[in-house]
Structures are given as structure tokens and as C-alpha cells.
């Protein structure tokens, strides 16, 4: 027995189905063979550091050559006569060494603390913060 819905002829729909308006424009097609961007390597970073160091050394050389007047330096119980540029360079080197020693001590402290945390069982209480 046929129902009324079976009796209606099936006709194709010719009207377009309304769609929501597009807010994002379609993306352009990708180029056929786009080259991948290379990641910087450690060697390239070292090369840049060497170039920067060369520029800094050139500026230091110019500074020392322009400040060639002799200066008398009193340190502890000694007295030295050095060109002013060289004396200031020694002072800068001494300051850099002091900063390096303090930084190395802090790195060692952090490494010991990290090793203590990784060697401890997971159920133990959190480590006391050291500063």
C-alpha cells in the first residue's frame, strides 16, 4: 500500500541553498615549492659572537690609543705608572672577573639544588628555598 509521500514525483532542486555569509576570505594557494626557513645553529651563534667581539676589541684598541697619557695607580702598597687607557681596561677586566665569579657561584648553587630535588623520592616534602 502506497502512502501520499510515495506518490509525489522526485524533482531535483535547482535553487541554491542559502549559506551563512563568509567572514574569513579564502586563503591563497601555497607556492609549489616554498623553501623551508633554516633554524640558526650553535655555530652560527658563535660566529655572530666572534664578530661582535672583534668590533668591541676594535673600540677598546681605539680607546686605549686615544688615552695614552700616563696615570699613577696606587693599589694596596704598590704604586704603578700605566697609560690611562690600559689602567681603565684593567679595572674593567677586574669588574668582569668579579661578576663571573659571583655568577659561577650562583650556577653551582642552582645545580646542587636541582640535583637534590631530582635525587629525592617523589613523596618527600618540597625542598627548602635557598637564596
10 or 87, which is more confident: 87
Beta bridge partners of 72: 81
C-alpha cell at 79: 704604586
Report how far residue 24's alpha carbon sits from residue 122's, in angstroms, rounded to the nearest whole number: 50
Q: How many domains does the chain have?
A: 1
- Range of the structural domain that residue 52 is part of: 42-122
> Is the residue at 14 inside a domain?
no
12, part of any domain? no
For residue 6, CA distances in Å to 1, 2, 9, 10, 12 come to: 10, 6, 8, 9, 16
Average confidence (pLDDT) over 33-58: 83
- Model pLDDT for residues 59-116, shown as the tens digit of each residue: 988 988 888 889 898 888 899 898 888 888 888 899 999 999 999 999 999 999 988 8
Q: Which three cell numbers stand for residue 39?
A: 633554524
Stated pTM of the model:
0.49
34 falls within a domain: no
The reply to whether 7 falls in a domain is no
d(CA 123, CA 125): 7
128 assigned to some structural domain: no
Amino acid at each position: 500500500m502506497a502512502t501520499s509521500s510515495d506518490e509525489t514525483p522526485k524533482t531535483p532542486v535547482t535553487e541554491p541553498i542559502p549559506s551563512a555569509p563568509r567572514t574569513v576570505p579564502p586563503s591563497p594557494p601555497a607556492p609549489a615549492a616554498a623553501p623551508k626557513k633554516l633554524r640558526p645553529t650553535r655555530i652560527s651563534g658563535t660566529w655572530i659572537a666572534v664578530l661582535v667581539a672583534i668590533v668591541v676589541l676594535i673600540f677598546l684598541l681605539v680607546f686605549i690609543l686615544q688615552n695614552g697619557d700616563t696615570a699613577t695607580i696606587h693599589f694596596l702598597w704598590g704604586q704603578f705608572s700605566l697609560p690611562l687607557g690600559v689602567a681603565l681596561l684593567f679595572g674593567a677586566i677586574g669588574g668582569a672577573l668579579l661578576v663571573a665569579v659571583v655568577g659561577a657561584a650562583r650556577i653551582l648553587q642552582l645545580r646542587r639544588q636541582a640535583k637534590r630535588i631530582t635525587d629525592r623520592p617523589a613523596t618527600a616534602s618540597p625542598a627548602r628555598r635557598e637564596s
